[in-house]
Amino acid sequence: MSQQKFYITTPIYYVNARPHIGHTYTTVVCDALARRHRMLGDDTLFLTGTDEHGQKIERSAAANGKSPQQFTDEVSAEFRGLWDRLGISYDQFIRTTSPEHKRGVQEMFLLLQEKGYIYKGSYTGQYCVFDELYADDNTPGTPCPVCGRPTETVQEENYFFKLSSMAEPLLKYYEEHPELIYPETRRNEVIAFVKSGLRDLSISRTTFKWGIPVPNDPAHVIYVWLDALCNYATAVGFGSDDAKDKARYDHYWPASVHMIGKEIVRFHCVYWPAFLLAAGLPLPEKIVAHGWLLFEESKMSKSRGNIVRSETILDVLGADALRYFLFREIPFGQDGSFSFDALVQRYNSDLANGLGNLASRTLSMIHRYFEGAVPEAAAKFAGAGEDTACFDPKTAEAAIAGFSQKFDEFNFNGALVDLWSFMATVDDYITKNTPWKLASSAEPEAQEKLRTVLYNCAEALRIITVLAHPVIPDSTKKIYTQLGLGDMAKADLNSLAWGQFQTGTRLGTVEAVFPRADKSAIERMQQMEEERKIAAAPAAEPSAPNTAPVVEGAAPADGHMPLAPQITIDDFVKIDLRVATVLTAEKVEKADKLIRLTVDLGFEQRQIVAGIAKAYAPETLVGRKVVIVANLAPRKLRGIESNGMIVAASFGEHGTPALASFLEEVPNGSRLK
């Protein structure tokens, strides 16, 4: 047993968005690595959590009519709930709003201050609230270098971190630790970025409150990235006076692997190492950046409406189908594409027909021919040999070594390709030996061959199951139990050598692990995604907010919905609200919230789909005047195109809709201003 420490982290996810398969990707990659290290006997700590401070969260909370604390509590719980449903084996879940984390961040601030790396200065620059990033270019209106959104001009007296003085130490560190940043392309980009010169970094803000106060100067909150990055250290006890926490910190810090998406490389590979070097603290051993998961070739985003939730896949195909797809389909480090078609295809070919088929063939033959007890291989056919019944142990040893090496180098899809090609060798071996024919022969040699073939298949299956366990934990656990091997948690990756399967082991009950999925699975998942989108949207469409200001850090005392962020008149005039009359209305089949309407705008008629069926019977709508958002991009709901949106107030716990209407007679097509 290697008994090494293995401390792995995911990024902590912003709670302004709900979890989707992009977040799941990073998390399952870390989960598989953590599982593999536990199976190697390593002292493993797997950390994940949520990033809950900053202006972006404050604004999202307001837009959702919640206090920041209530909003972060809810979304953080959603992340945690999803990880639990997915069987993510995290050991610790950190929230940046926890008192331990806050104290640790303030300690870090004080430490950097004490070491002379912090000063107060004034700042005018461009800031992207979405990425919580200062643009290098200070020209007003410059787009964010990461997401391209317009930056906002911020002018403040701030605390600054002397990042400019860290360029040389950083370059020296990268040089001396070539293993720090992976893959190589990211390392090269980081070095080029640092070589191009670093400017001091503003590390406090005064224009909003939702953050950790600067020690001794509470008018400032600490820059959200300094706050967030510290989570990796505060989670294991950094900043605590308690002896136990200190010991824990000394034991686990520095982290073995920070796993991140490629868009946050700068924060992890420049800022974080710079803070740590300045504070005199050890740097993480490795920062690994993966690529982006795209949906059918395009970036997933709320505005494109193409975000895929993991829950949909969990409900239809189970967690392992998603996990296997993510590892097998995406060349690690590069961008990869997700689609429901590709998911189902991969599931059927590799899991249902591949592993599932090998397991059910092997297990059912052992049941049929040997009453469910693993037979003994005949000495005569043991090891490599000319006879088709011989199975060269070197094939298995090469598969084990190849898989392990590739997996540990983050080449997950390569590792799985190799393991599945080993599986194909075993399938071939079965086909060549036709055990069903051997079984029907009374010849002693045929019986010896049959024993050997089925022993070898069971042994190969054991090895495949143990190796694949970190990637597809649920199904391998089932196969392992069916093999009669008991508790998979005790499976040890260090003792995988060929020939360990105990003859006479009694198999468990055999059941199909991966039932085949047909086309309807794809349709079901697509439909569920649409329903989820509708459910996540306000019941009808957004209501006019009340007028009281947002109360920070607490739910408004009277329960009113706080105001959405301020907009200008220019923003408002972009929304074209028109009066229309409902001509027809009918319920959308198999969608209990939806009504399909045709409305008359005076100058044209249109079809609109609205989520108001729980509040209105379709026939009561015909002839009624309504207000619609007439210039909203068309979108499909349940396959039906909706060309606009009906305006309604939303009230009560369940967001009951009430259609906006007029006391006066208003002609169709009139604009609301």
Does 264 engage in binding with ligand MSP (CB under 6 A)?
yes
Cis bond leading into 143, ω under 30°?
no
CA 459 to chain centre: 34
Does 135 engage in binding with ligand MSP (CB under 6 A)?
no
Please tell me the count of residues contacting ligand MSP according to CB under 6 A. Answer: 19
**What are the DSSP calls for 65-130, one per residue?**
TS-HHHHHHHHHHHHHHHHHHTT---SEEEETTSHHHHHHHHHHHHHHHHTT-EEEEEEEEEEETT
Out of 6, 7, 8, 13, which residue is the one contacting ligand MSP (CB under 6 A)? 13
**Which region among 22-30, 137-145, 363-371, 435-443 touches ligand MSP (by CB under 6 A)?**
22-30
Residue number, 97 or 231, with CB nearest to ligand MSP: 231
Does 68 engage in binding with ligand MSP (CB under 6 A)?
no
Does 22 engage in binding with ligand MSP (CB under 6 A)?
yes
Task: State in angstroms the smallest separation of the CB of 421 from ligand MSP.
Answer: 27
Q: What does the CA dihedral 533, 537, 540, 545 come to, rounded to 10 degrees?
A: -170
Does 71 engage in binding with ligand MSP (CB under 6 A)?
no
Task: State in angstroms the smallest separation of the CB of 14 from ligand MSP.
Answer: 4
Question: Do residues 53 and 206 touch, judged by C-beta distance below 8 A?
Answer: no
Residue number, 288 or 496, with CB nearest to ligand MSP: 288
Which residues neighbour 45 within 8 Å (Cβ) at sequence distance 6 or greater? Answer: 5, 6, 7, 8, 91, 92, 236, 252
Residue number, 228 or 396, with CB nearest to ligand MSP: 228
**Which region among 21-29, 67-75, 135-143, 654-662 touches ligand MSP (by CB under 6 A)?**
21-29
Does 255 engage in binding with ligand MSP (CB under 6 A)?
no
Out of 39, 108, 221, 260, which residue is the one contacting ligand MSP (CB under 6 A)? 260
Residue nearest to ligand MSP (CB): 22
Does 252 engage in binding with ligand MSP (CB under 6 A)?
no
Does 362 engage in binding with ligand MSP (CB under 6 A)?
no
Does 101 engage in binding with ligand MSP (CB under 6 A)?
no
SS3 state at 203: coil
**Locus of tokens 């209530």:** 70
Task: State in angstroms the smallest separation of the CB of 648 from ligand MSP.
Answer: 31
Which residues neighbour 671 within 8 Å (Cβ) at sequence distance 6 or greater? Answer: 576, 577, 578
Footprint (CB under 6 A) of ligand MSP, residues 23-42: 23, 25-26
Residue number, 229 or 466, with CB nearest to ligand MSP: 229
CB atoms within 10 A of CB 343: 25
C-alpha distances (whole Å) from 357 to each of 225, 241, 365 are 48, 56, 12
SS3 state at 240: coil
Task: State in angstroms the smallest separation of the CB of 233 from ligand MSP.
Answer: 11
Does 105 engage in binding with ligand MSP (CB under 6 A)?
no
Which residues neighbour 384 within 8 Å (Cβ) at sequence distance 6 or greater? Answer: 390, 392, 393, 394
**Locus of tokens 């797809």:** 325
Residue number, 235 or 540, with CB nearest to ligand MSP: 235
Out of 6, 7, 12, 525, which residue is the one contacting ligand MSP (CB under 6 A)? 12
Does 300 engage in binding with ligand MSP (CB under 6 A)?
yes
Query: What letter would DSSP give residue 392?
Result: -
Out of 194, 293, 594, 628, which residue is the one contacting ligand MSP (CB under 6 A)? 293
**Locus of tokens 């009113």:** 560
Distance CA 302, CA 299 (A): 10
Cα end-to-end span (Å), the chain: 72
Does 292 engage in binding with ligand MSP (CB under 6 A)?
yes
Does 337 engage in binding with ligand MSP (CB under 6 A)?
no
Task: State in angstroms the smallest separation of the CB of 291 from ligand MSP.
Answer: 7
CB atoms within 10 A of CB 204: 25
Out of 261, 284, 354, 356, which residue is the one contacting ligand MSP (CB under 6 A)? 261
Q: What does the CA dihedral 666, 669, 672, 673 come to, rounded to 10 degrees?
A: -120
CA 523 to chain centre: 23
Per-residue binding string, ligand MSP, 621-640, x by CB under 6 A, is --------------------
Query: What letter would DSSP give residue 165?
Result: G
Task: State in angstroms the smallest separation of the CB of 212 from ligand MSP.
Answer: 14
Nearest CA to 661 out of 574, 581, 567 is that of 581
Task: State in angstroms the smallest separation of the CB of 196 from ligand MSP.
Answer: 23
Residue number, 233 or 366, with CB nearest to ligand MSP: 233
Residue number, 23 or 80, with CB nearest to ligand MSP: 23
Distance CA 278, CA 273 (A): 8
**Which region among 111-119, 259-267, 473-481, 498-506 touches ligand MSP (by CB under 6 A)?**
259-267
Does 271 engage in binding with ligand MSP (CB under 6 A)?
no
Question: Which amino acid is located at 264 in the chain?
Answer: I
Per-residue binding string, ligand MSP, 212-251, x by CB under 6 A, is ----------------xx-x--------------------
Q: Which two tokens stand for residue 344?
A: 């189902």
Query: What letter would DSSP give residue 282?
Result: P
Question: Do residues 321 and 291 touch, judged by C-beta distance below 8 A?
Answer: no
CB atoms within 10 A of CB 364: 13
Does 287 engage in binding with ligand MSP (CB under 6 A)?
no
**What are the DSSP calls for 586-638, one per residue?**
EEPTT-TT-EEEEEE-SS-EEEEEES-TTT--GGGTTT-EEEEETTSPPEEET
Task: State in angstroms the smallest separation of the CB of 228 from ligand MSP.
Answer: 4
Residue number, 101 or 361, with CB nearest to ligand MSP: 101
**Which region among 212-220, 256-264, 452-460, 606-614 touches ligand MSP (by CB under 6 A)?**
256-264
**Which region among 18-26, 179-187, 534-542, 631-639 touches ligand MSP (by CB under 6 A)?**
18-26
Q: Left (φ > 0), alpha (ψ -120 to 50) or beta: where does 219 sit?
A: alpha
Does 273 engage in binding with ligand MSP (CB under 6 A)?
no
**Which region among 261-269, 277-285, 340-348, 554-562 touches ligand MSP (by CB under 6 A)?**
261-269
Residue number, 49 or 470, with CB nearest to ligand MSP: 49
Task: State in angstroms the smallest separation of the CB of 225 from ligand MSP.
Answer: 7
Residue number, 338 or 370, with CB nearest to ligand MSP: 338
Footprint (CB under 6 A) of ligand MSP, residues 40-59: 51
Task: State in angstroms the smallest separation of the CB of 264 from ligand MSP.
Answer: 5
Distance CA 42, CA 470 (A): 14
**Beta pairing class for 625-629 and 605-610:** unpaired
3-state secondary structure 427-486: HHHHHHHCHHHHHCCCCHHHHHHHHHHHHHHHHHHHHHHHHHCCCCHHHHHHHHHHCCCC
- Contact positions vs ligand MSP (CB under 6 A): 11-14, 22-23, 25-26, 51, 228-229, 231, 260-261, 263-264, 292-293, 300
